[in-house]
Amino acid sequence: MTDQLHDSFRSYARPAGVAYLLIILFGISAEMGLRGTLIDWTSAEATASAISGHLDLYRLSIGADMIMAICDVILAVLLYRMLRPVDETMALMAMIFRLMQMAIVGGSAMYLFQAEQVMAAGGDILAPLARHAAAYDLGLLFFGVNTLITTYLLCRSGLFPVWLAAPLGASGVVYLAGSLTRFIAPDFNAAMELAYALPLFAETGFCIWLLRGPARQVQLA
């Protein structure tokens, strides 16, 4: 290990942790706490009624998604700077895959705006909401690759705990499987819902680790 690696982790770990924390908070708030409570996938009428009656919450969820997207771009750059001394090419690949994921997820917010317009016109509000959900899963395909590369780089750094590397790497597999089954084997996609508890645990652990900083010093060459 080198001085450069030690300085990189020391400089970027905690700012990256703050960005990650904001992503988790705003992402969960938008998808589960705000918008998710308004959507009934079995009834377009019930969904339209719920959203029209709580339009402020629906729009607030879109704002939370926007903040999450901004923080994700910041995190992508910070993790690249942090992991670049380990392997510059792989760190660049990880950043690009994360940015691709967020470009798709951020762009899918337009379907949420479209859903409000469709609702106002009396159309089927579930159609644009379903397109948004599909785009989100497509973005997670790239995020799955990012997660695997990031786990590899963290393990190579010698600073990341093994007990956290295993679930983080498995999370990448969950994201890949969830996205692929959504489009290739939709009948099996429902079985993936419980598996997403693992990424929530692993990413929260990764966030805490970043906020605390590396637990031990690197061995300087």
- Assess if residue 217 is contained within a domain: no
Q: Is residue 221 part of a domain?
A: no
Helices (H) and strands (E) counted in the chain, each on its own, are 9, 0
**How far apart are alpha carbons 191 and 156 in whole angstroms?**
33
Whether 77 is covered by a domain: the verdict is: yes
Instruction: Look at residue 218 and tell me if it is in a domain.
Output: no
What residues make up the domain containing 206?
A: 3-212
Cα angle: 182, vertex 155, 14; to 5 degrees: 90
CA angle (20 as vertex; 15, 22 as ends), nearest 5: 100
Whether pTM > 0.95 for this model: the answer is no
User: Over its length of 221 residues, how does the chain's per-residue pLDDT go in tens digits?
Assistant: 566 777 788 889 999 999 999 999 998 888 887 888 899 999 999 999 999 999 999 999 999 999 999 999 999 999 999 999 999 999 999 999 999 999 999 899 999 999 999 998 888 999 999 999 999 999 999 999 999 999 999 999 888 898 999 999 999 999 999 999 999 988 888 888 888 899 999 999 999 999 987 655 444 33
- Give the total number of structural domains in the chain: 1
